[in-house]
Each structure stands twice: as structure tokens, then as C-alpha cells.
Chain A
């Protein structure tokens, strides 16, 4: 299977927000970082590809099946982590294991308890007493414990300290050792994507801005540090985003080769995202 996830012209309207013609694909065996500011449509897109909301138009296929009609066997292959704990908080980890073993046929209790031990999570404390970081860890442990082929992660490292984030990212890299495995991960912590993502998709106000291979994206974009005079030389269509400072200006462009005389810096994923969103043209 070439792409484990494919969205084509997906549209979904709400009162004050709409996904508009969202199209991108996650190649099998890759990690796709899904970035965008709060309210951009990341969670809505993730819900659509999990079949939790029905698009007004367009098509979504996940592991070769229509997202709205995923078979139980295909759902078994998808590990899901939402941006907050979605398990009943009155349960403890042991009870959660029993619940999830009744939901997933491929549930592996040994693996689940192994992850809980690795993440230093208690077995007998109710989930409602967990901190935000502990909640995310138990969600990740659950997502990995039924032999998934695809992980769909909505802010999985939110609330985790840098040490635990590094541990989690290593686990995701271990997961990717199998070439048939794939990950779609939405996150605000773009530095995590610098370590793990093969592709980046950027969504802004319900529309896909770009979906590119990470290295290519970073190579293509440059931040030009220019004076007012130099700024006047830059064509408007070459300016993706701009910040005006007191003494100098910064312009994000994908056409830096046209302006070899202007100092150019390589941006981070975060900077690219910020410039796209905070357009001060």
C-alpha cells in the first residue's frame, strides 16, 4: 500500500469554522508531522480520518478503506492518542487493561504493563489522580499495546518534560523500525518533528498550506534579514511572511536564490509556521 492515509478534497463546515479542500497523503512507512496553530483544523482532520465525523464532501481512505466504514480488523491496526485523556477517570490502569482487552482483539496486556513500568506509571491509582504528563503516557501505552500498524497521535507529547518526551520519541522511532508502520502526529512542539518527521503538513484556518518532505521544506525556505531598501527589492509574491523590526526586517521566502545579496538564515519548522501564520505584509 503506497499511502496509509489519503485525504482528497475533504470539506467539513461548522458554524464558525470549516475544513476546505483538505488534501494530503501519508506514505506507508513514514512519519507525517501535522502542524498548525490552535484552531487550525488539526483535530477536526484527525477526527475525520478516524471516522468520528463525516465530511461534507471529499474522500478519506485509511489503510485502504473508506474512513467512514472502517472494518473492526482495520480499526484494530490503528493506535489512537487524543490530546487529552479519553479513558474513564474512575478506572485505574489494571481496570483499564481489562476494558481495552475487551475492545481490542489483539490487546497485549503484557506489553501494556511493560510500557506502564517503563513510563513509571502506577497500576492501582485512579486515572483522575494522574498529572497531564501521566495521562499522555498511559494513552500512548494503550495506543502501542494492540499491535497497531498506524499511529494517529493528536498532541502526544503535550505536558511531557523533555526527558520523557525524548523517551516517547525513541519509542516512536522503535515503532518505525517496522517499515510497514506509519505515524501521523499533530503537535505544537515542532522541535519533536525535527527529530522524527519525514514529512510535514501545515494546516492554517482549515486549509492545507503545504505538505512536503521535511528536508526539502527546510531547504526550500529561508529567512532573509534585510534593510528597508532591500525589502523594497523583494517581490511581493516572494514574501510568505514578514516581521518588521526597528533596524531590520525578516522575510520568509521560498525564493531566496533570487536575492543572493541578502543575508539568509535557515529557519526551523516553528519559524516557518509562525511566519506563515503571522503575515504582516
Chain B
């Protein structure tokens, strides 16, 4: 399994470099937005920009596992690994580890960006903001993990991502928006945003993420065991 992870890291340096450059740019941009948050125009968008800047490096890094899997399928390196010293369990575990490494790396960058922002302008970002950013990174990790078994079926990370995106959009976001519009008194959105401050929210999100990770792990393992991976 070490061999698979080493190959992935060597072959996908550009994602890590991209995530690193984005992290550096995100830090600078966040600091600038924070410093300008007192200005009328920036007041409204500063936090939103800092949110995106904190989360974007993780989003870029998390592109890599599914694209790496796609490459392994197209070159049939996955077949070689499965025929060689890698069991089906370890193959799936390697994919999971790639995802979790990117989540962990993205979370670390997010914390660094946030701490720099806190150092520059104490009080602008609070712990609750940082926890919220980290939960978004976990959510992105979960979504990318859901893309992984679909990548085996479609043989394309992009197609798999599109399918998951469409499912999320039409299955979750659109119904919520329709509900909010139907209620039409803003209570749906204010209800949603009020959840952010709840103390149980991080645990609920982590718990849901753990369940989804486990379920998708089993789905992916069943798919790999079925054979014809490449």
C-alpha cells in the first residue's frame, strides 16, 4: 500500500503545489480583506472571501484522489496493483487514506490561514468561524469520497463529480431553496444559519461524515471485489 501512496504523491505533485500556492495567495488575500473589512464595500464581502480562501486549498487538494484513481484505471496500474501484493481491502484503504490526507492537509492550511487572520485583526474571526470552515472542508472531503466509487464505474473523475454534483444540487440544494421560497418568510434560511452556532453541530457533521465514509467504503469495496475495475 505504501507503494500506491508513494506513486500517487509523486505523480500528483502539481495538485499539492497548486494547493500550496493557493494557500499562500489565500492567506495574503484573507489578510487584505480583513484589513479592508472596515471599508463599506469590503464590509459585506470580507468574511465571505476569507471563508472561500480558507477552504479553497483543501478543495484543490481534494481534486487529486479521484483524478489519481482515474489515471490508475486508464493505465491499468490498478489491475497490476490488485494482481500484485495489494489486496482489495488495501486498495480501497489506500484511496481512503488519500482522501483523508487531503482533508487533513486542507484543514491544517485552513487553521494556518485563520490563525494569521486572527493575529492580524484579533476578534474578526472567532473559534466558531474556524470550526465552520473546518466543517465545510470535511463536507468537501465527504463529497469527494462519494465521487471515488463512481469514478470506477464511469472511468472518469469529471463525469463522476458531475453526477454527484447534479445529485446534490437537485436532491438537496434545490429542494431546500424551493422550501425556503415556499415558506417565503425567510425562516428557512434563518433557521439554517442559526444551526451554525449550535454546539452540537460539529459533532453532528463529524458523525454524519463518519457514517458516510464507512458506507461509501463498503460500497467501494464491493465494487472492487466485483472485479473488472479497469
Contact = CB atoms under 8 A, between A and B. Distances in A.
Interface of A: 47, 50-54, 71-72, 75-76, 78, 80, 82, 84-91, 95, 98-105, 146, 152
Interface stretch (B2-10, B35-43, B58-66, B201-209): B2-10
B1 to A, nearest CB: 7
Contacts of A80: 80, 83-84
A136 to B, nearest CB: 14
Given A88-B72, A91-B7, A102 B80 contact: no
The winner among B3, B5, B79, B229 for most chain A CB atoms within 10 A is B3
Given A51-B83, A88-B11, A99-B4, 9 more contacts: A47-B227, A52-B229, A78-B84, A82-B80, A86-B75, A88-B77, A91-B7, A103-B3, A103-B81
A78 B82 CA distance: 12
Contact of B80 (A86, A89, A101, A146): A86
B228 A53 contact: yes
The winner among B2, B80, B228 for most chain A CB atoms within 10 A is B80
Contacts of A75: 83-87
Given A51-B227, A52-B228, A102 B84 contact: no
Contacts of A50: 79, 82-83
Given A88-B7, A91-B10, A103 B227 contact: no
Nearest to A98: B6
Interface residues of B, number: 30
Contacts of B4: 99, 102-103
A32 B21 CA distance: 55
A99 B6 contact: yes
5 contacts: A71-B87, A86-B77, A98-B3, A99-B7, A103-B2
Contact of A86 (B79, B85, B227): B79
B83 A99 contact: no
B121 interface: no
Interface in B10-24: 10-11
Contacts of B90: 72
A75 B227 CA distance: 16
Contacts of A99: 3-4, 6-7, 10
Contact of B3 (A78, A90, A102): A102
Given A86-B75, A87-B77, A88-B77, A52 B83 contact: yes
Given A101-B3, A102-B5, A102-B6, A88 B79 contact: no
Contact of A53 (B81, B84, B85, B227): B227
Contacts of B87: 71-72, 75
Query: Binding site of B, secondary structure by majority: helix, strand, loop or mixed?
Result: helix
Interface of B: 1-7, 10-11, 71-72, 75-77, 79-87, 90, 225-230
A201 B225 CA distance: 28
B79 A52 contact: yes
Contacts of A76: 85
Contacts of A47: 79, 227
Contact of A52 (B3, B7, B75, B82): B82
A75 B79 CA distance: 13
Contacts of A152: 83
A119 to B, nearest CB: 19
Contact of A95 (B2, B10, B230): B10
A146 B10 CA distance: 22
A103 B91 CA distance: 11
Given A86-B77, A87-B75, A105 B85 contact: yes
Contacts of A105: 85
B84 A104 contact: yes
B75 A102 contact: no
A248 B141 CA distance: 72
Contacts of B11: 88, 90-91
A175 B198 CA distance: 67
A100 B228 CA distance: 22
B84 A103 contact: yes
Nearest to A101: B3
A48 to B, nearest CB: 8
Contacts of B85: 72, 75-76, 103-105, 146
Nearest to B90: A72
The winner among B10, B71, B83, B227 for most chain A CB atoms within 10 A is B83
B130 to A, nearest CB: 36
B3 A88 contact: no
